[in-house]
Every structure is written in structure tokens, then in C-alpha cells.
Structure 1
Amino acid sequence: MAATLADHLRSLPDQELAALIALRSDLVMPVPGDISALAVRAQSRLSVARALDGLDRFTLEVLDAVRVSRAPDTATTSVEAVLLLTGEGGVDQSRVREALGRLRALSVIYGSDASLHVAAGVDEMCSPYPSGLGRPAADLDADAAALVADAAGLRRTVLAAPPAARAVLDRLAAGPPIGTVSRSALTDPAADSPVGWLVAHHLLVPTADDAVELPREVSLLLRRDVGPLGAMQPEPPTVEAPVREISAVDRAGAGQAMEVVRQTEALAEALAAEPAPILRSGGVGVRELRRLARAVGLTEPIAALLLEVAHAAGLLGESGGETGDVVVLPAAGYDTWRITSLGQRWARLARAWLLMSRLPSLVGQRDDRDRLLPALSADIERVGAPGQRRAILGVLADLPPGTAPTAEDVRTVLVWQAPRRMGRGATSAGYDAAVTEAATLGLTGLGALTSYARSLVAEVAAAEQIDPDSDPLGLTPEPPASAAVEALDALLPAPVDHVLVQADLTVVVPGPPEPALAGELALVADAESASVYRVTADSVRRALDSGYVAADLHALFARRSRTPVPQALAYLIDDVSRRHGGLRVGSAGAYLRGDDEALLAEVLADRRLSMLSLRRLAPTVLITPYAPGRLLAALREAGYSPVPEDATGTAVLTQPRSPRASARPVGPPRRVEDPMTAPRLTTARLAGIVEQLRRGDAATRAARRAPVTVRANGGTAGLSGAQAHTQAMAVLQQALRDKARVWVGYVDAHGATNSRLVRPVSMGAGYLRAEDERTEMLHTFALHRITAAVPEETST
């Protein structure tokens, strides 16, 4: 029977020991030397706190039942005693056994059913008053112990308590059993107070000048209607929330998903037109964020959210600006993302939000030093953010489809699922912000989780469970198409390849445009909303500057428009085209030439261009000392339509290329780690750790029990170095003759003392060759480095 946790761990099969390490992987960071060290680490304050933080309310209540039912003399209990204690409260015994199984799997409790032990450190990390019960009266006061020893007298005293005193008893019986009072209530006999009456009748015991405690026996008497452990909660709280039609939920969420994709594209295009500089302290400043929000037509919180999500998805990146400063602009992968389907674009953004360890809701708030927190800064990193979002969506996914709970309902369930974690530094504002962000990104609609978001959450969870060891060479076929993407694409309208041109020169797109159509519209028209564009003189000039001619634009609108092309649009194209290229700009400081002498004379006399210092070089040529770019901009601002040309006189008509940052690789969905636990270990790594622990434990016991004990410096206790070496050689020669296994202690190349269980094969020429049967490897030891040798039967 295991009396200590080390003995219990040592007796576990390899599979169960590996399961424990998988659940509490912080125990092997780094790997301890043996199982005794593993047990010490498992009972440390930090490790115990991590194990308890992941438990739900009912499991913690069962742990309190184990602590309450322990015998005072042996500090142990039994499963039967725990079941009897919880059964008085009407709790299903099968649920109690399940909770005990979870506690055993974590080694929070250990031992046989008849002798359960609580791991050291649990009492220290839990409340000193399990289940809200105080200490026994015998541990508090002799008069109180005498009172509770008389059961009938105790009941009469409780019944005789005044109403105010009875209210105090009921409040303390619900837990915690301690309270603070004024000193006069305890020391002044004339003071007429409920606490003074209870103390005088030994129902409360003073523990300090201003503190009292309710004995455990009194609490048990007062809890006779609800059970000795109080009201237990084996099930999560029921959520009373309206249920929406799932079709309506999906339609609302899909509309928001399409809108958030459009807004992300608009934000990226705004950054391409004018990249946002990175502050020296890191992040995008509040002023730049405000500019971006105004340019895209968003509120600052939503702009911050989309900026963070797009950056996490690899759509935005940092690059050196023209002046050497670092700026944020679209990354190389942004153009590829734009040509995928709407469902794929949304899924990439949603996955990035689920997995990123950043809290966009903190942008614009102030830190401890009263400084504003900028977007994309390291100050808004929170390792618990992915787990927080996963927990929220998990609660929504567990509800019936279409259920729309409030943020407070979600928080109530989360408090039951992890009361220790939620009660430590968790604020409702953070969870409310996550719920709002899920709605903004289209994961929820009308307050309920959409069906495609439910599929996405399941896909991310399944990807987390994939064991890398199952496919070390990467030969597994490509995963199937995302069900979430397919479901969302089915909800969204099919991409269209046509437009409706109106008489007021607006262009209506009756659905999401195809990538080719979207590129053409971005060039020839200005966006006014998600589906409405407007053709202006500037947009026509922009198209002509990119290489279109008037005939191309007429053909484009005739091909794409399902309505007759208005005559006003044809006139606009012809008018802008007629003026386009009438003036040409080149580099010489810069020069301006044209075939129309009257037009050049008009430009030369235009007072709006006086700052260019134009002068006539020839009847058809003007020059300026300023650069061609400034000359072009000034002429266009004044209403002219010049085009640039190269040194040969050929017009330079090219589509402008938006700057791009270097590509930011985005890997497959990774496991969202619990912030309070170490990373997940693979199956092969777990097996190796168990093997290492077993070998280290065997070596420790062999060194402890063997007649020749290896010292840390390579010597042996009780023997000189020469004597120990001689004895080790004799043991090895005997093992070689008997073909027996032997523990060999040796000093490795780094000067560290190690040991290995091997079977000697040969010994000569200054070397021992031996086989390790566990790893099926042949090892070679230099004889002068061997410090001890112990037969296997001696060490067991």
C-alpha cells in the first residue's frame, strides 16, 4: 500500500504515469532525476495550484468532502466515507465517483479506496475551511467542546438564540465560518449584541480580539436540511435564454462575416495608400488608428480589432519606410487572400482571432503608468486570451443551437467550470469584450453561435488533438475541405460578374463581386459602400493612367453592365480621355511639353501654378526646377490632365503597384495552451520521459542500497578510489561470465556522474562493451571512467 505519493507514482503502470504527465506537463519542465523528485514537484504550491485551477466547482466540492472526511489520527479517508458524506446532500454517487477519478488522475488524491490520501500542498493551496466548515470545537475551546458533546443541549441552545443571533449563525453556517466584530462586542459585558450572546453561550468562539469562528459541529447542525457539505452543484447552471431560428442566426452572422471581410480589405487598402508608422516604443499610435478608422468609416475599437486580427492572420506586416522608419502595410500574402472565396477569407480571420494571444479591447486604455496602450504593441499580449475565447465559444457550442445567452449567462457557466481561475483577476469586461468581438467577426448572429462557427470551433479543437508522432514524415493526405467554409459559402450570395450602372453614374454590384470584377471596379470607380461605387472624373483618369484607353473603358462598362450604359458616362469617359495626355511631364528638373501651344500658354499664365516657377523653353515646352512628381500633382490639382513620359518621349501608363511587406507565414492551427500549464507533450516524448524517470529511479535506489555507493565526485563511500575501481572491475568480470545485467556508474565526457543498466558483452583494451536491452543499443565505456558496478539483483 502506497503511504507516500512517491511510492504511489512508482507503483503506477507506465501508461498511467504517462497520462499523469500529460495532464500535468509542468511536472517535467525540466525532467526530474527520479520519481521521488517528481513527487516532490507534484506537491509543490505552484504545481498544485495549476492542477486545481482547471477543476470545475463540483470536483472542488468533492475534494472538500475528501478533506472533511479524513480521520484525525491517520489523515486518511475512504471512498465509502466520501460517498456517505456527499450522499446526505442528495448527490448522485456516480457523479461523485467521476470526480474522484479526475482527482486521482491528477494525483491530487491517491491511494486505495479504503485509504485515500490528500497530496501535500493541497491543504495549503485550498481554503482552510473546506466546504465552509470551521474547525472542530475541541480544537477551539473547551466550553464549546462540552456544549457540542451534548447534542440535545446544543439544539436547545440554538433554538433559544434571538432572531438577530440566529441570523448571524445562519450566515456563518453557509460559509466561511469566520467573522469580524468590534472589540466591545466581545469584551464589554453590558454590550447588547447578537455576537456577544453567541459567544456567551459558546456557539461562537473568539479567535482574536475582533474575530470569531463557528465550530464545525454547530455548522453541521444548522445544515441538516441541505447536507453537511452545503448545497452542492454537480451540474453547471442552467441558462435561461431565448432560442432563435438557426436559419435567422446563420443569415445574420453571414451578413456580418461578409461585412468584416470587406472592412478588412478597406483597412488594408488604406494602409497600402498611406502606411502607418510604428512608434519607437512599439505599436501603431492612437492618432494613426484614428486616421485609419476615419478613412475606412469604422469606430476606433473595431478598427483596432481588425488591425490586430489582420496582422495575426499574416495579411499585414512591418517594413522599412522610405525614410527608414518601420511602417505597417499589407503583406505579400494579402493579394493571394483577396482572390480566395469569401468563406476562406473569413475563416482565416476567424482562426487568427481564436488563436492570437492579444486582447484588442485593451487598445486605447491606460496601463499602470497611465500610458495609452497602442495597437500592435507588446503591451496587449495576454497568454490567457486564446483560452478565454475558447471557453466562451465552448459554452455557446454546448447550448442548443440558436440559444442566445447574455454575457452574464456565459460568465456564470464559466465560473462553474473554473471557479478558481475565474475568481482570480478575471473581470467581466474582458469576457464581455470577447463576446462583442465574436459578434463583430460574424461568429455569432443575433446573440447565438452560428452553425458555420460551430463547425470552425470543432475543426480547431480537432486540429489541436492531432499527434505529430502519428505522421512524422508528413505523409498524411491533405485534410478535407473545411466544413465551416463550405457552410458559410452556401449562405453567402454567389459572386457576381456584372454590375448595374445608374444614370447618376453610380455602379451597383448586386452581390459580392468576383476577384476580377472587384479589381476593375477598384480602378475605374470610387467605393461608396459595400455594393455601391461611383464613376468620377478622377476615377476615369486613374484608369487611363494605369493603361486603359477610352475604347477599353467603353467596352468594360458595356461588357459588365446589365443595364444600358448612360450617355453621361460615355461623355465623361470621352471628355476625360480627350484631355488626358494633352500635357506630358518628364525629368529634366522637370519639363512640360505639349502640341497645343495655347494650352501651354494657359498653363504658363495660370497663377495657381506660379509656385512651380515655370518658364518657356520652346513654343511647346515648359520647364520647372521641381521634380516630375510634384509637377504632375500640381497640374492635376489645378484641373489639368498630364501624363508622365520617359526619356524617349513614350507615355508611361502603368497601373500603380501597392507596396507590400514581406510575407508572414501562417502555420496550421496550433493547440491553444492553457496559460497555467506547460505545453502539450507528444506520445513519443511521454514514453521517453517515463523511461528516463524509471531508469533514474532505479539508479537512485541501486546507489542507495548497493554496498558500494557512488559519490558525486566519482568516488565511493567507505572505499578509496582504487579500491572502488578494483571492486567494480570484479563485479563486471563476474557479470560477464554469468551474462547477467549490472548497474554501471561512470563519469561521462562532461564530468557528470551517470548510471546505466547493461549486460556486459566484452571487456578489454581499456574498454567495456555492454548492451542496453531496453534501447537495444551497444554502449562502450572507458574502464578508467567507471566508478562503480552493482549487480541488478542487489539493487532490487
Structure 2
Amino acid sequence: MGDPAPGGVSQSSDTAGPPAAPAGAPVVRRRSLADELRSWSADRLAELLAARPDLAVPPPASIAALAERASQRASVALAMDRLDAFTLQVLQALAVSPEPVTAASTTALLGVPDDGRVPEAVATLRDAALVWGPDEGLRPLVNAREALGENPVGLGPPLVSALNNSSPAWLQGVLRRLGLHATADPVTAVGALAALAADPPRMRAVLDQAPAGAEAVLEKLVWGPPFGRVGPWIGGSRPGAPAADPDAAPGPDAEPLGDSPESTAADGGSPLEWLLERGILGRWTEDTVVLPREIAFFLRRHVFGSGLHRDLAADPPAVPVARHDARHADEAAAAAATAAPRRVEELLDAWASGPPGVLRSGGAGIRDLRRTALLLDVSEEEAAFFAELAYSAGLVAADLASGFWLPTPAYDRWLDLTPDRRWAELAAAWLVSDRAAGRVGVPDDRNRQVAPLSPEVASWAVPELRRDLLGELDRLPAGGTAAVDALVDRLFWERPRRSGPAVRQLVDWTLREAVWLGLVAPVRGAAGILSAHGRAALLGLPRDALAAALSAALPDPVRHVLIQGDLTAIAPGPLAPDVAREMALVADIESAGAATVYRFTTASVRRAFDAGRAADDLHAFLAEHSLHEIPQALTYLVDDVARRHGRIRVGAAVSYVRADNDAALSEMLADRRTGGLGLRRIAPGVAVSELPPEELLEGLRANGYAPMAENEDGSGATPVVATPRSRRATSFHPYAVQRPALPGSAAVVALAEDLAAGG
């Protein structure tokens, strides 16, 4: 952060030796971060790899390689992103503190009580390998200093840089005006000025002599930006004035100071001139002055504030808690959790028969998303979420051979799982996925809507934000929730480098997705309540344990429904899987939740017949699982569809239609709605068409008929069960996500042991 100055700040490297310790104090001299890491135990190295998971991918071959990777700019920035506000402020203080840097000197610079919080933060920074060196000579990594910016905490350059343009004669005049011993050596002169700034009583006495308006000028610069623009007269060549550096840049936020002509010193000069002539301000460019760092230290500590920072974030903001019934919250979240796998199944079954195409730029079309939303009877945002969720779980992929988005073979294996186990797979995939479904449909930089399943949906910050946000909910007591704004304030304190409007939007999206997935129970006007199975997912428990946690929140499966006279049926709880499958076949789901509502229609009953069920099968199933007597309206509906189902059969000739009697065929041929199917009679009760059998079946059904597919021999004795085409992706790039290294995981422990043994 500038050139070394006596009593000032010096630029250190990650391979420089530590400063000399006090006489007689034992010092273990380590010349680099690698030397420091070699002294660590395997357990401590494992904690480092878990805290900074990017260091373990790919596994470093040696401690030297680990140190080099830990010092790289991108890795350092990621590690700093995980620091809370106070620890980040401690790192800032370490980066700007005069050497030698210790926890005690940093405590004094921050202006906080010596209660152990600063040493604790320093220990956190050392464990993260952002700071190294002995206790009496702490050193932040060079890239950590650079990540803080050219003017960290709003501080300007040290005196040695701020007065770099001054001539020896000018410096002698500065010393004389301050009452200090004049010297022709610039280094000694700057050292004397730094010593004065570090002596509060003497520095206070100097400022007491300042003209009116000088303190107001300093107040504009003390908290940053440290540069000030002044009137053109200040750039004039007064006798003995320092020459400006034409290459120096003042920064874009230089504070306009003006020339304060109405306020003059005793010798006729302005407050700005008085401050310049005493080295309290430095000349940076022709029309810019700068407040040196050592002067800012004094002003912040003893004039305008209480420490290095104007607002010290020593304690996290309080989060007021509102309490609710934890059991009811778990039940509400569990109801959403049972619906999520069903939504994914409906979506992928629809895409198996009518898949969306893969766009040239990747992803699926917005129109396909809208059709999917209508099919699922959900909003476009929710449909995008379930599509992205299926992609994250590896259940759908872009098929390279066909150019369509299709279910993968993993989808068939997922269907074989129990409903709670299906949810566990989805929840585990969501937690580590980098897909931000909320971006779908939002205009991008070119004002184009972001497509679902496109690369633009990914964001590297999403997985950690999900864990951090759910972690904040986990801090609350069981059944507790909080206002979203209060939770965001706490989250931004925990991760100040990851804050702002864009992150706030990610927070809102994450909470919405957590509710849809059933991890969080919604609460009006609040962030929601983390469920018991949500806590299990946050802990990273195995899939079976997640499924068990969800099952514990669900009531016992039921095997009966309440069938009503208006052709609806209510399942008073989660149905047993086999009953749920049959009910979904014979009736349409109208609403899902703690109680699922089904509706029987002509189309749904016909769907059961198309799948091979007979009328007797449906009557027996309904009688077995109905809690009351079957209403006559439903019995009539089943029998009526059964009478008409199969009266007309479709086979391949190209295609043919065969009716039990010629009158039924004549009626169908006379129907204007079938005119586009190209049917023509070739014999009594028989007609043919140029359409394939599948299209002919669909066309007749769309016009109100109930044909049945016929086997090849045309006997009609064995009907062909019509099943949707189950297309699967055969060649695709699987979705890959970098899973974080977990503390105590076998891979992390083994890598740490290898590094500790190899050195």
C-alpha cells in the first residue's frame, strides 16, 4: 500500500521475512506462507480445505502448491467473501496498520475494548490462510491487501507517498513551521512528521493553532475519499510550494473543497494553504490535495470518531423472532414437499411425449415454458423452477442426437423410488446447484429474456447463498421466523462483500424456491419457518435420512378417498403409492396439498380404459378404496364410457377403422369434424385413412369419439394398450456441479494427511 515510511505502512509480500521481534523474544522465522502451512497439523489443514473448498479442486500435490493456490487473487477473493463484517474490518486494520502489526496494535487502531474479539478474528483469518506470520509480526496476503482497494477504509497513501513531490527545502520549511528540528534528509523529515502524527497531544496542539475552516476541510476528507479538488489558485507557484505530479490520479470521487477565500490564516493564507504548509495535507496533482494516512489515523481516533472505522460492525444486527407452531409448520412444508416430486414427474412425462427443442444458444424456449406452465397449472416462475430442479438432479438433459430436451435414464430410476426418497434426491440436488431459476424470463444485458435451462441461469454465488440463508433460519428457535429485511441485514453482516440489490433479489428467489420445494413453511409477511426435514437437508444428511425426516412430518399414508356426488374425490392425507397411481390414472388432480382433490371426467375415465383397465376393474378399485358408497353419477360415468370405448377400432393398413356395426361407421363418416382425417369406406363397417394409426386415434378422440387400438390380426380379441411415447435422452452432457468439501469428510481428511506427511 505504498512505499515504506518510518513509522508508516510498508508493502509486504507473502515471501518476505517477518519484522524483528523485541529483544529476547523467541521468534520462529518463517519466510513464506508455505513455511507457515508446513507447521500446521493435518487436522488444521483439513479445516483450511473445508473452509476454502476451491483449494482442494484439483487436489494440490504439495504444501508449496497449496500455498501458491491459497495466495492467488481469485481464491483470496472467495475466502474474503466468506468473512463477516467485523472480521473483514479486522483484516482492513491489519492491512493498513503501521508495522509491527499485532493483535494488540490492531485493537488500539480499531478503538475497541481489549475483550478478545480482535484476537479471535485474527485467529479466523490465520486459519483461513489470509494472514500469516508470528504474533508479533502479522502479515496479510498481498492479494488480500490489493482486494481491499487502493484506498482501503477510505484512507489515503502514507506520508512518504503523499509528500513524495516535495522538495527538501519545502520539507525543511514544514518542519520549521511545526517547531521541529529541520533536516535536509527527506526520509528523516517524513519520519519526524510521522512521529508527530503518532503523538496525540503534540498533534492536537498543532491543530489547535489552525485557522477557522481548517477542521471543516479535514472533516470532508477524513472518512474518504481522501482526495479533494481545490480552486485553480491553489495550483499557483507560490514561493516554496511543492510541484505537482502530472501522472498522479486523484480518483473519481475526489471531494470538492473550494478555496474558502473568506477564511484566512493569520499570515493571510487560506485554511488549505495552512494545512499544506504544515504537511497535514499533501499536494497530489495540480488541483488535488490528499490527506495522508497517518494524519487520518490521528483524526479518526482523536478528533472525529473513536477508531479506524466510522461505523464499527463489532456485533451482528439483532433479528426479532416471531414464534409459530413448529408442528403445523412442518406439516405445511411436508405437504409442499410431497407435491414437488409430482410436479417434476408431470413435467418430464409431458416432455417425454412432446419435448421442447434445444435453442442454438442453449436452453429451452420461453414459449415451451409457457405451455409447460399451463399444463402444470402453475405460474411460469414455478414451472421454470421445476424444470431447473429436474436439470440439477440429472433427470432431464439436452439430447445431442435429437436436439430436444428429454428425460434421462436416471429419471426411470428416480421413478422407482418411494415419494419421500424422490424428494430427498431433489432437495439434495437443489442445495448444491448453481441454478438461479428466478433469472428465467428476466431481461439480460442485451434486453433478451433469459431462457430456461440456459447457461445464463447459472450463478456461482447461489449455492453458498442458499446455505447461508437457510443457516440464518436455522439459527432461529424451532417454529421461529423473522422479517425478510431483518434476515437480510443479518445475512449482509455475515457476508458484507456479498450484499447489494442483486443479492437481495437472490434472497427473495431462494426463499420462494425453498417454499416450493417444501424446505420452508411460508408465513405471510415473514421469511418463513425452516422445517425439520429442511434442517436435515441443510446438515447434508444421507438421502435415506432425509426421506425419513420428511416421513416423520407426514401423517400415515391413507388408502381411502371420499367420493362425492359432484364427481370429485378427496384424499384426506397422503395416499399410499399404489392407490395414488391408480387415482391419478382414473381422475384428474384439481388441487394438491395436505388433502388432494381429484375430479372424474369422461377423458380421465377413458384414459384408464386406454391404459388397459376394464369397467369391472374400475368398479372394484373404487369400491375398495371409497370410504362411502359409490355415487350413482360415477357408476353411470364409468359404464357409459365403457359402452362407447372400443366400438370403433384403429389399425394399420395405412390405417383402418373397423366398427362393430356399419351404422356407427356411417355416423362417424357423416360427421363434419372427421372430414380432415381422410377416412373413406372400403367395406361395410370398415374405412381406411392415410394417417398413421397414432394420429388417427388422436384425431378421433379430439372430436369426441372413443376408439381403441387393435392388434395386428384384427381380431379385436386383444386390444392394444395405448401408452405415451417414453422418449429418453441417449447422448447428452450430464449436469455437473462442484460439491463443497465438507468438514470431516473422508476425502478432505485424507488429502490433509497426505499434505502434512509430504510437506
Q: Which residue of 1 aligns with 2:492?
A: 415
Between the aligned partners of 1:543 and 1:387, the Cα distance in structure 2 is: 46
Between the aligned partners of 2:694 and 2:674, the Cα distance in structure 1 is: 14
User: Structure 1 residues 353 and 65 mapped into 2: Cα distance closer, same or farther (>3 Å)?
Assistant: same
Note if contact 1:157-1:201 (Cα within 8 Å) is conserved in structure 2.
no
Note if contact 1:614-1:624 (Cα within 8 Å) is conserved in structure 2.
yes
1:183 to 231, 242, 257: 231
List aligned pairs for 1:495-644, cutoff 5 A: 495-530=557-592, 531-644=596-709
Report the CA distance between 1:354 and its aligned residue: 0.7
Between the aligned partners of 2:387 and 2:85, the Cα distance in structure 1 is: 38
Matched, 1:296 2:324: no
Matched, 1:5 2:32: yes
Note if contact 1:338-1:515 (Cα within 8 Å) is conserved in structure 2.
no
1:223 to 297, 301, 311: 301
User: Structure 1 residues 380 and 665 mapped into 2: Cα distance closer, same or farther (>3 Å)?
Assistant: closer
Matched, 1:200 2:200: no
Matched, 1:242 2:322: yes
List aligned pairs for 1:73-92, cutoff 5 A: 76-86=100-110, 88-92=111-115
Q: How many residues align?
A: 660
Matched, 1:62 2:90: yes
Matched, 1:381 2:409: no
Matched, 1:362 2:439: yes
User: Structure 1 residues 685 and 659 mapped into 2: Cα distance closer, same or farther (>3 Å)?
Assistant: same
User: Structure 1 residues 308 and 294 mapped into 2: Cα distance closer, same or farther (>3 Å)?
Assistant: same
Matched, 1:438 2:517: no
Report the CA distance between 1:289 and its aligned residue: 0.3
Q: Which residue of 2 aligns with 1:391?
A: 468
Note if contact 1:525-1:534 (Cα within 8 Å) is conserved in structure 2.
yes
User: Structure 1 residues 193 and 243 mapped into 2: Cα distance closer, same or farther (>3 Å)?
Assistant: farther
Report the CA distance between 1:109 and its aligned residue: 3.7
Amino acid at match of 1:509: A
User: Structure 1 residues 192 and 668 mapped into 2: Cα distance closer, same or farther (>3 Å)?
Assistant: same
Q: Secondary structure at the match of 1:533?
A: strand
2:405 to 299, 306, 328: 328
Q: Which residue of 2 aligns with 1:751?
A: none
Between the aligned partners of 1:665 and 1:489, the Cα distance in structure 2 is: 34
Note if contact 2:212-2:271 (Cα within 8 Å) is conserved in structure 1.
no
Note if contact 1:316-1:329 (Cα within 8 Å) is conserved in structure 2.
yes
Report the CA distance between 1:178 and its aligned residue: 0.7
Q: Which residue of 1 aligns with 2:146?
A: 124
Which piece of structure 1 moves more, 294-303 or 206-215?
206-215
Q: Secondary structure at the match of 2:539?
A: helix
List aligned pairs for 1:705-716, cutoff 5 A: none
Between the aligned partners of 1:570 and 1:34, the Cα distance in structure 2 is: 76
- TM-score, length basis structure 2: 0.75
The superposition leaves residues 71-113 of structure 1 with CA deviations (integer Å, 9 ceiling, x where unpaired) of: 4xxxx33444345545x42242x22222222333344443333
Q: Secondary structure at the match of 1:622?
A: strand
Between the aligned partners of 1:565 and 1:31, the Cα distance in structure 2 is: 65
Q: For CA contacts below 8 A with separation 6 or more, give which structure has more relative contact order.
A: 2
Note if contact 2:384-2:452 (Cα within 8 Å) is conserved in structure 1.
yes
Note if contact 1:9-1:35 (Cα within 8 Å) is conserved in structure 2.
no
Between the aligned partners of 1:6 and 1:653, the Cα distance in structure 2 is: 73
Q: Secondary structure at the match of 2:565?
A: coil
Between the aligned partners of 1:51 and 1:564, the Cα distance in structure 2 is: 66
The superposition leaves residues 437-469 of structure 1 with CA deviations (integer Å, 9 ceiling, x where unpaired) of: 223322222223423245324431xx6xxxxxx
Report the CA distance between 1:287 and its aligned residue: 0.5
Report the CA distance between 1:286 and its aligned residue: 0.4
Q: Which residue of 2 aligns with 1:772?
A: none
Amino acid at match of 1:12: S
User: Structure 1 residues 526 and 162 mapped into 2: Cα distance closer, same or farther (>3 Å)?
Assistant: farther
Report the CA distance between 1:490 and its aligned residue: 2.9
Amino acid at match of 1:180: G
Q: Secondary structure at the match of 2:591?
A: coil
Unaligned regions of 5+ residues in structure 2, if any?
Answer: 1-27, 164-170, 179-192, 236-257
User: Structure 1 residues 626 and 217 mapped into 2: Cα distance closer, same or farther (>3 Å)?
Assistant: closer
Q: Which residue of 2 aligns with 1:645?
A: 710
Q: Which residue of 2 aligns with 1:770?
A: none
Q: Secondary structure at the match of 2:322?
A: coil
Matched, 1:682 2:748: yes
Note if contact 1:318-1:329 (Cα within 8 Å) is conserved in structure 2.
yes
Between the aligned partners of 2:233 and 2:571, the Cα distance in structure 1 is: 79
Between the aligned partners of 1:624 and 1:14, the Cα distance in structure 2 is: 80
Amino acid at match of 2:663: A
Between the aligned partners of 2:379 and 2:688, the Cα distance in structure 1 is: 46
1:111 to 133, 151, 166: 133
- TM-score, length basis structure 1: 0.72
Report the CA distance between 1:304 and its aligned residue: 0.5
Q: Secondary structure at the match of 1:520?
A: helix
Note if contact 1:284-1:376 (Cα within 8 Å) is conserved in structure 2.
yes
User: Structure 1 residues 444 and 63 mapped into 2: Cα distance closer, same or farther (>3 Å)?
Assistant: same
Between the aligned partners of 1:612 and 1:112, the Cα distance in structure 2 is: 87
Between the aligned partners of 1:617 and 1:436, the Cα distance in structure 2 is: 60
2:723 to 656, 676, 683: 656
Between the aligned partners of 1:26 and 1:637, the Cα distance in structure 2 is: 56
Give the percent of matched residue pairs that are identical in Structure 1 and Structure 2. 36
Between the aligned partners of 1:527 and 1:16, the Cα distance in structure 2 is: 54
The superposition leaves residues 293-325 of structure 1 with CA deviations (integer Å, 9 ceiling, x where unpaired) of: 1111111111101110022223334457xxx63
User: Structure 1 residues 331 and 551 mapped into 2: Cα distance closer, same or farther (>3 Å)?
Assistant: same
Q: Which residue of 2 aligns with 1:467?
A: none
Between the aligned partners of 2:387 and 2:729, the Cα distance in structure 1 is: 17
Unaligned regions of 5+ residues in structure 1, if any?
Answer: 464-478, 695-796
Note if contact 2:33-2:132 (Cα within 8 Å) is conserved in structure 1.
no
Q: Which residue of 2 aligns with 1:172?
A: 221
List aligned pairs for 1:30-45, cutoff 5 A: 45=73
Report the CA distance between 1:608 and its aligned residue: 3.6
Which piece of structure 1 moves more, 163-172 or 495-504?
163-172
Q: Secondary structure at the match of 2:575?
A: coil
Structure richer in strand, relative to its length: 1
User: Structure 1 residues 511 and 660 mapped into 2: Cα distance closer, same or farther (>3 Å)?
Assistant: farther
The superposition leaves residues 661-703 of structure 1 with CA deviations (integer Å, 9 ceiling, x where unpaired) of: 25999999974269xxxx99634434444555x4xxxxxxxxx
Note if contact 1:286-1:374 (Cα within 8 Å) is conserved in structure 2.
yes
Q: Which residue of 2 aligns with 1:345?
A: 422
Amino acid at match of 1:593: R
Between the aligned partners of 2:573 and 2:548, the Cα distance in structure 1 is: 18
Note if contact 1:393-1:457 (Cα within 8 Å) is conserved in structure 2.
no
List aligned pairs for 1:11-26, cutoff 5 A: 12=39, 15=42, 18=45, 22=49
User: Structure 1 residues 690 and 29 mapped into 2: Cα distance closer, same or farther (>3 Å)?
Assistant: farther
